[in-house]
Structure 1
């Protein structure tokens, strides 16, 4: 008993020491304000970044890394790199930073005693969840649930894991309907272990679109169609149909006709689509096109999955980009809310800016048996707490409204440049993009912008995409535009 008491005392003492260290951990040394302008002392990547890349490549994949950032010196809309450069970041970790770097609300929350235990041990939430998990999901995550989606399933952290599990939910739902809601038969349970019909419904398919990106895990990769290098050498679900995404509003009728033909002629569990095809080149369609898709999926009992991994959490000027699908219905009088609910998707996946991943879904997509959508982690309470702070900050600071204002300002200014090399300016909110004449010019432009102190990204073959944080303001837009103009001048 004395040994047990001494051990407990040592544990409590260690816990208090660690807590004090975390509470005081270099927070006072973090920047408290942004620089007035970008500061560039080397090319980007600089010599230290290049050296770190060489070291990393000896043990892991480093070739995609553009530069190594310094998290201790980054703040707000500015990312510092290990070479001392401070860059205005309009790409934000591939569209995944909602509040920029070292936001005070997140720094304060990270020092709380509530966060520390989840940092020390990540629980297997599907097996044993802490009590605050219930509160976090019910009062925070569900507070931003899309209309009509009353449930949420958290996943392991990336958008692909959200998509994988949403696809599984769609298949289970479809087979449950086909069986008239009875449990799987002994024959199905036995045959699925050999990957054979009827237990494995190998003739059942998921429909996706050309240029789509839904992740790079094994199942989601069969719906991803943005770049060949993502898919080559990897087996795919070869009978899953791919359909054209409309090139213009005039093309939408043709595309919807092809969708209907496909849904009618195949055993389709789900149709998955992004509100804006992001990685594939920032491709847009009209709200009427998406309403047409929703009508067809309802008619043919196909689950509609809206992939909001990149478009979600405010960047388009709505919390969820699919909210724009009701445009044209807002002023239609009585029954408008019913009509909006009817065009809502069945499932919405999220990750990136939420800093946690999962999918919202209608109650009928909850599998009738337990353990069917399951993993060891089944989410992450630490990241869910982080998402809670993000959600509260977005609401308190009215950041979605700010995105609309800044997005309009930036879009008008881009059009006002009237530059001969800038083509097809498009987007919603600050989720903006434009094309350059060729992939080579686009790639040179991205590098030139970094060397001038501004980070932007690419998509598709020749598209430049802007993905700033929600705290990006008009004076940041002015710096971006000024830098863009000088970079474009050097391209001519």
Structure 2
């Protein structure tokens, strides 16, 4: 085993080692405290691995049942082709606890960026097949997205991400997809409402223009319920209602990227479930006129993926009916599923 004091130099021999200073002690770290393996110093971990650790380090329940995790770690099956009781337990648990009834279809994969990739593929497939049924040809290759967004660093997502750090996308080939003005809220709302509403009007106008200029070629609209990397940007409920209306009017799927906002961090399982009419205080987890067609999730779920609604069923051979349209070797990691 490499000495903790030599960890950074050992890694730097073979790859860029520009991470944070602490060397984590995986055994001694506990709860919200990260222990440095070099000197035992404890750090209150407000980073929590990019908010991907919902129960902290070495949770007592996991330690008490570590033999179950060990069994899952010994072999790595291809979940997409070889099923297990462990996988079934995970899928069932997610279905009962986290998967909304209005999003009955699911797909799992490793990595939040790849979750969003497959959300886009789902939308592309749906839109192209709809166009072909109508005799419009093979159209449906573009996604409407917003300035200051972050949706990942892989393939398709590079064409979406508008990070304040240009190094994340600079020089990489990207598609020229419609990028829309970000009508983020400036707080306090009461002092800035007129400006916010004006920004929303501009954004809505740009979206309408994008649909008009790319007739039949827009497969979806994607937005983070709360933009994270772009600056903790929030949007009014009324704006999400407009997005839903526009998606229905133009046969596009409404996609919410909940990789950062999902799994209870906002007080509900999914951030979009806060999007209710002001007078609706007892609604059941969502409001119909803000409802997404797809959500992408990751980080705190450990296993990443998408949940998809019933509009996908408007196409007979959609990606949840036809084999091999969505797939990956691991289909999500079995160890992450068990954890």
Match of 1:74 in 2: 29
> Alignment partner of 1:119: what SS?
helix
Task: Tell me how far 1:126 sits from its aligned partner.
Answer: 1.7
Task: Tell me how far 1:79 sits from its aligned partner.
Answer: 1.0
Q: Say if 2:171 is the partner of 1:233.
A: yes
Task: Tell me how far 1:292 sits from its aligned partner.
Answer: 1.4
Kindly report which structure 2 residues correspond to 1:14-29, keeping only aligned pairs within 5 A, or say none.
none
Task: Tell me how far 1:140 sits from its aligned partner.
Answer: 3.4
> Alignment partner of 2:144: what SS?
strand
Of the three residues 164, 176, 179, the one matched with 2:129 is 176
Q: Say if 2:227 is the partner of 1:274.
A: no
Match of 1:347 in 2: 294
1:212-252: per-residue Cα shift (whole Å, max 9, x none)? 11111111111111121011121111x21111111443322
Distance 1:221 1:109, change over 3 A: farther
> Alignment partner of 2:260: what SS?
coil
> Alignment partner of 1:100: what SS?
coil
Aligned mates of 1:337, 1:320 — CA distance in 2: 13
Match of 1:409 in 2: none
Q: Say if 2:24 is the partner of 1:87.
A: no
Match of 1:10 in 2: none
Match of 1:42 in 2: none
Distance 1:298 1:376, change over 3 A: same
Task: Tell me how far 1:142 sits from its aligned partner.
Answer: 4.4
Do the aligned residues in 2 keep the contact of 1:148 with 1:341 (CA within 8 Å)?
Answer: no
Do the aligned residues in 1 keep the contact of 2:275 with 2:286 (CA within 8 Å)?
Answer: no
Do the aligned residues in 1 keep the contact of 2:105 with 2:307 (CA within 8 Å)?
Answer: yes
**Runs of at least 5 residues in structure 2 that lack an aligned partner in the other structure:** 186-195, 313-317
Task: Tell me how far 1:269 sits from its aligned partner.
Answer: 0.5
Do the aligned residues in 1 keep the contact of 2:298 with 2:304 (CA within 8 Å)?
Answer: yes
1:282-323: per-residue Cα shift (whole Å, max 9, x none)? 111111111211111111111111111011111111111111
Aligned mates of 2:108, 2:96 — CA distance in 1: 11
Distance 1:66 1:277, change over 3 A: farther
Match of 1:98 in 2: 54
Q: Say if 2:205 is the partner of 1:205.
A: no
Kindly report which structure 2 residues correspond to 1:131-210, keeping only aligned pairs within 5 A, or say none.
131-155=85-109, 157-180=110-133, 201=139, 204-210=141-147
Of the three residues 286, 289, 292, the one matched with 2:236 is 286
Distance 1:285 1:338, change over 3 A: closer
TM-score by length of 2: 0.86
Aligned mates of 2:8, 2:143 — CA distance in 1: 39
Match of 2:207 in 1: 259
Q: Say if 2:302 is the partner of 1:302.
A: no
Distance 1:254 1:66, change over 3 A: farther
Q: Over the residues paired in the alignment, what is the CA RMSD in angstroms?
A: 2.5
Aligned mates of 2:279, 2:292 — CA distance in 1: 16
Do the aligned residues in 2 keep the contact of 1:274 with 1:307 (CA within 8 Å)?
Answer: yes
Q: Say if 2:15 is the partner of 1:60.
A: yes
Of the three residues 314, 322, 326, the one matched with 2:276 is 326
Do the aligned residues in 2 keep the contact of 1:173 with 1:364 (CA within 8 Å)?
Answer: no
Match of 1:360 in 2: 307
Aligned mates of 2:153, 2:100 — CA distance in 1: 25
Aligned mates of 1:261, 1:342 — CA distance in 2: 22
Aligned mates of 1:132, 1:54 — CA distance in 2: 38
Match of 1:316 in 2: 266
Aligned mates of 1:257, 1:122 — CA distance in 2: 49
1:400-441: per-residue Cα shift (whole Å, max 9, x none)? xxxxxxxxxxxxxxxxxxxxxxxxxxxxxxxxxxxxxxxxxx
1:43-96: per-residue Cα shift (whole Å, max 9, x none)? xxxxx66x5323211112211344321121211111111232211111211111
Task: Tell me how far 1:257 sits from its aligned partner.
Answer: 2.1
The structure carrying a bigger helix percent of its residues is: 1
Task: Tell me how far 1:263 sits from its aligned partner.
Answer: 2.5
Matched positions, count: 316
Aligned mates of 1:143, 1:181 — CA distance in 2: 39
Match of 1:43 in 2: none
1:11-30: per-residue Cα shift (whole Å, max 9, x none)? xxxxxxxxxxxxxxxxxxxx
